[in-house]
Amino acid sequence: LRSCSPGRARRTNASRRACLVARFGDIYAQERLDAETLLRTYISDIEMVQRIIYIAAVEAFHAAKMAYRQFKIRVRETLSLGHSGPESLEDTVLDYIVRHEDLYDVQASVNEVIRSMNINPKISIPPEIDFIVISTLIRELCCVAFSMQTLVPPLEVAFGTDGELFSETKYHRSFDSDFTAALVAYHVWPALMENDVVIVKGEAVTKR
């Protein structure tokens, strides 16, 4: 194991949080649109394209969270053998993970996301292509989601369901929405949450 810096994770929590929230916004503004443009060359249905991207985002957070839990268990088991303080074992584990996020096997998470998308009944893609075409977006989301798990408290995306009541506090309406409709037809981008409080709004389409 490489050496770790005691207390570093908690000391840098606020600055890391600010950077990660900004990065999440950048992915929405850039990589999401790049993926949308790419998918539109294969799929004419914009709703299907946006559903694919939304599900990729939600699945990326799920895969990264699972990977983080497993990584944390392995680090805790290893560090507990020689831990003597003065920091708590939990702080020492968190410091180690923050310093060595490069050890996260992001490709395994990307593969897991694509596997999940392949069996999702709500989305489909022409047989001649593969969800791997948006792997850049998925990879970026997995990386930011993994890093968000190292924050105290961690950040998470809200999971939305078709037909749910539209929430002004959780989502912006897409420009092509029916602004008088009360229900969400489908989601474009997930909201970012901290302790069940929305810190970055997502995007949804409302229709009657």
The chain-wide mean pLDDT, for the chain, equals 90
- Given a cut of 50, is residue 1 above it in pLDDT? no
- Reported pTM: 0.90
Helices (H), the chain: 8-11, 13-29, 31-40, 46-80, 89-99, 106-118, 135-148
Contact status, residue 134 vs residue 56, Cβ threshold 8 Å: yes
pLDDT at position 2: 46
Up-side HSE of residue 120: CA atoms within 13 Å toward CB? 20
Domains of the chain, residue spans:
10-154, 158-207
Phi, psi dihedral angles at 3 (to 5 degrees): -70, 155
- Given a cut of 90, is residue 11 above it in pLDDT? no
| Percentage above 90 pLDDT, the chain | 73
Q: What is the CA radius of gyration of the chain?
A: 19
pLDDT at position 85: 63
Tell me, what DSSP letter sits at residue 165? B
Q: Determine which helix (DSSP H) or strand (DSSP E) holds 86, and give its type and residue range.
A: none
The amino acid present at 198, given as its one-letter code, is: V
pLDDT at position 6: 47
